[in-house]
Structure 1
């Protein structure tokens, strides 16, 4: 199995990085080949230029980095996003990845009858979003309406026709105990050790 991880956090000592290590360890225990797209370390540019937009419309990406990411996505059996929730939404690089890399002709296409979208990543069996935030779960759910679930899982991947979508959200990260944070990491490692 080949799992692509799209990771976005600029601080190497962040809890997101600890999550990345736990997930990667679990996947390797399950004999997955892990392909890491570290957006920060890769220097990914999230901004869509006019040339990018023309290429997007033509279904022919021109940015070598976008083309490379596209080719790696085509080989993925599983796709995992790991990022922090800032101001109730995803960071700019993650949003830019969705805008620039999840492109028509590669990740999805328009239905031939003109209604809806068709998924093109034929190997892809599941998509998991793993996030961290400092807000309490109830506050994010009641007042913000679980924006990540709506914006990423439903609006992006469900609309494209992908199934087996999961969201793991760690809330109140700064205020919980170190013991709880360690337990979360252990649970993640165990969960992905069973991922087949």
Structure 2
């Protein structure tokens, strides 16, 4: 399979980078083709401009990076997002990716005249997995903050568009985790993606 990874973390020695490396190793073991979209290294501009909003209305993106990402994801069989959760939500570049790439005419279109029902345009995609890190305990994130990432991306974005196979791997209290626990998480991610079908 061709797997596109959308990665967002500016610090090269972050745990998110270790996750990226583990996922990549697993995908290589599984003989998958990997296409990395590294938002930070690409210098992706997350800001929606007036031209972008007109493009949203017209269903024709104008940002050259968005057009490039569109063509790459159209060829993908699987999509993986890796990013940290900061102040209960995704970093700006990941949010900008959702705003500018999960876009009518790019990722989805409408099925009725009222523009109230959506269908995915990335028809090859068999599934989407989010892998996130945070320091908030999982119970607190669920009870107090309502699993904000799940609501924003798993449900509010990808469920609404119509993607059925959606998974979220949430790694919590990462800063407090022991070396052994962090290693166990990485091994689990590597193993998971080595078996991706």
Cα-to-partner distance string for 1:95-123 (whole Å, 9 max, x where unaligned): 00000011111210011354411111110
Question: What are the within-5 Å matches in structure 2 for residues 124-143 of structure 1?
Answer: 124-143=125-144
| Separation in 2, partners of 1:120, 1:112 | 15
Question: What are the within-5 Å matches in structure 2 for residues 117-156 of structure 1?
Answer: 117-156=118-157
Question: What are the within-5 Å matches in structure 2 for residues 25-40 of structure 1?
Answer: 25-40=25-40
- Show the counterpart of 1:190: 191
User: In angstroms, what is the RMSD of aligned CA positions?
Assistant: 0.8
- Show the counterpart of 1:59: 59
TM-score of the aligned structures, taking structure 1 as reference length: 0.98
Q: CA deviation at 1:32?
A: 0.7
In the alignment of these two chains, the number of paired residues is 196
- Show the counterpart of 1:176: 177
Q: CA deviation at 1:56?
A: 1.4
Cα-to-partner distance string for 1:116-157 (whole Å, 9 max, x where unaligned): 111111100000000000011111111111000001010000
| Separation in 2, partners of 1:91, 1:3 | 22
- Show the counterpart of 1:77: 77
- Show the counterpart of 1:112: 112
| Separation in 2, partners of 1:127, 1:10 | 23
- Gap regions ≥5 residues in structure 2: none
2:66 alignment partner, SS class: helix
| Separation in 2, partners of 1:149, 1:101 | 19
| Separation in 2, partners of 1:166, 1:113 | 31
